[in-house]
Amino acid sequence: MSRVAEEVLGAEGVSFSYGPAPALSNVSLSVAKGECLAILGANGSGKSTLLKLLDGLIFPSAGCVFFEGRPITEEALKGEFLVRLRSGLGFLFPEPDVQLFCPTVFDELAFGPLQLGLGAEEAAKRAGDLLRMLGIEALRDRPPYSLSGGEKKKVAIASVLAINPGVLLLDEPTNGLDPRSQVWLYELLLSLRGHGKTVIIATHDLSLAGDLSERVLVLDESHAVAADGPAGEILKDKGLLLKANIIHEHEHRHGDVVHRHSHGPFSTHDEHD
Amino acid sequence: MAEVILPEWLKGREEAPASLRAGSAGFIERSLVNFASTMKRLYVDGDYSSKKGALQAIEPRAKLAGFFFIIIAASLAHSAVFLGGVLVLAFALSFVSRIGPGPLAKRTFPAFVFTSVIVIPVIFGAVTPGREVLDVFGASVTGEGLRSAGFFLVRVAAMVSTAMLLSLTTREADFFRGLGRFVPSFFATALFLTFRYAFVLIKTAEDSALAMKARTIAGARAVESRTWFAGRAALLLKKAYGVAEEVGMAMVSRGFDGKLKGAAARALRGRDYIWLGFASFVLFLSFGA
């Protein structure tokens, strides 16, 4: 199967189910090098499953996933292709407690580089650089489980960056972050994008999707692609977002005036009854 | 979006029935909360491993091997005097490690109490025949039984205090790193992950107990508590399975291919060899004790 020349990740007619429950249905997409794609969808729409499929952590029951034009299958994931894929893709899990399994923060940051055979000296250098970059040097010898939620998230992000992947797969990256940390994450991702990284974000955070991504893919509640297009167009399509259960409307009163408005990018009080 | 219609009873605030009396937490909830807090106190609280003490300065591999020799010695010895000596040694080492006897005794005590309970039958003539020294409600307590129970308690105290001293003076990371040099790294990693995620599950169990407490006014009946506990146990099992699967994925996504690669350990120094020599000497002494 021939793929687009600059495509770094792609999926063709991918379906996946957890037992009898479908998680993804006939999903196709193509992500070009350096692109930033936001995957939007309600809870249970299949965003996390799609990211895991793209990272070769699970395999589709139908269809195929591609990395740099090569199919990601259990048989293909070995040798040089496995190393290329693991060093090329960085996956951020939504729950930092899952991602942080090493005894100390330093070990956590050195884990990826060591597994990819970069050597102890290079692993230590990368860990040190990331600790400095994120301003978490004081946490170097702390066990990750003893950190606060925001600190855990920072360490989890650093543990992914330590591999220096070309593609970042971020599953709910703003989950559990306070507003200041969300701004910090946004600026970090902006800077990474500026240096040519491909970023794929599964999120509910419409402002993050709007500010960072040039393209948005919407998964609906039937686990299929409801839309895939420029962020500016998709995020303005109120009907689509309402149908996919990404935004909702609510009603409240100011004296005798009843306001009916939606949350998210349409949260203005100009939709009076 | 459709308007939400509240049921009538939800629109007002009603007082609890006068007949309802506040109850206390049940045995199971109390046990769970106490177990969680004991685990945290024993294994997480108190950062003695980062103090600049004599044992903290020893390389983890050497420290682990030395403590292993001493624990083996305590398990082989047949002399109460020797075992008493190991106990005294452990407390003496707690001083030079800037821990002091208090924290060490606090961590040894639960095992001592538990062992005391399980050796009770040993003191009776029915289990250990011998010269009767006391009569307790018709059951004879023998001198031989008391000696056996006392000897067993000293052995447990010596071994547990030595093991606790190792855990207090060694950072968790260094302990598992050191262990990984002696056993296949896969086993050390599996052991570490078990230890690490036990706390995640304990936290879940603790939160479940608090959630139940938040919705319980009158105390729960024993049967309700048992049902609740069985439900929570099932949830924890399911959660443990889910966490294990996700952690596996998180490791694979960062390059883990079944063989754990770590940084090289530092070379042993003079003090490490002295410690190993001393521990070996204790082991040697145990053969004649």
Which tens digits make up the pLDDT trace of A184-236? 888 999 999 888 899 999 998 888 888 889 999 999 989 999 999 999 899 88
Confidence of residue A264 (pLDDT cuts 50, 70, 90): low
- Under 8 Å CB pairs connecting chains A and B tally to 85
Confidence of residue A261 (pLDDT cuts 50, 70, 90): low
Closest-CA residue to A91 (of A192, A165, A183, A15): A165
Whether residues A110 and B263 touch (CB distance < 8 A) is answered with yes
Q: How far apart are CA B1 and CA B13, in angstroms?
A: 27
**pLDDT tens readout for residues B55-92:** 988 988 899 999 999 999 999 999 999 999 999 999 99
What whole-number percentage of chain B has pLDDT above 70?
A: 82
Across the range B211-215, mean pLDDT stands at 69
**pLDDT tens readout for residues B147-187:** 999 999 999 999 999 999 998 888 877 788 788 778 877 77
Q: Is the dihedral of CA B128, B129, B130, B131 positive or negative?
A: positive
Superfamily designation of domain A7-236: P-loop containing nucleotide triphosphate hydrolases (3.40.50.300)
pLDDT at A273 > cutoff 50: no
Q: Does A177 touch chain B (CB under 8 A)?
A: no
Taking all residues of chain A, what is their mean pLDDT, rounded to a whole number?
A: 86
**pLDDT tens readout for residues B110-135:** 888 999 999 999 998 888 888 888 88
The verdict on ipTM greater than 0.85 is no
Whether residues A103 and B171 touch (CB distance < 8 A) is answered with yes
Q: Output the DSSP codes for B36-76.
A: HHHHHHHHTS---TTS--TTTTS-HHHHHHHHHHHHHHHHH
Q: Does A10 touch chain B (CB under 8 A)?
A: no
DSSP state of A14: E
Which residue from A minimizes the CA distance to B194?
A: A101
**pLDDT tens readout for residues B7-50:** 777 777 767 666 666 556 566 667 766 777 666 666 655 578 77
pLDDT at A254 > cutoff 70: no
Question: Which pLDDT score is estimated for B192?
Answer: 77
pLDDT at B205 > cutoff 80: no
Whether residues B246 and A117 touch (CB distance < 8 A) is answered with no
pLDDT at B93 > cutoff 90: yes
Q: Does A145 touch chain B (CB under 8 A)?
A: yes
What whole-number percentage of chain A has pLDDT above 70?
A: 89
Whether residues A98 and B243 touch (CB distance < 8 A) is answered with yes
Question: Which pLDDT score is estimated for A77?
Answer: 85
Partners of B246 on chain A (C-beta within 8 Å) are 93, 95, 98
DSSP state of A253: E
Measured in angstroms, the CA of B256 and the nearest CA of chain A are apart by 6
Q: Which residues of A156-194 are buried (b: 16+ CB within 10 A; e: fewer)?
A: bbbbbbbbebbbbbbbbbbbebeeebbebbbebbeeebe
Question: Which pLDDT score is estimated for A31?
Answer: 95
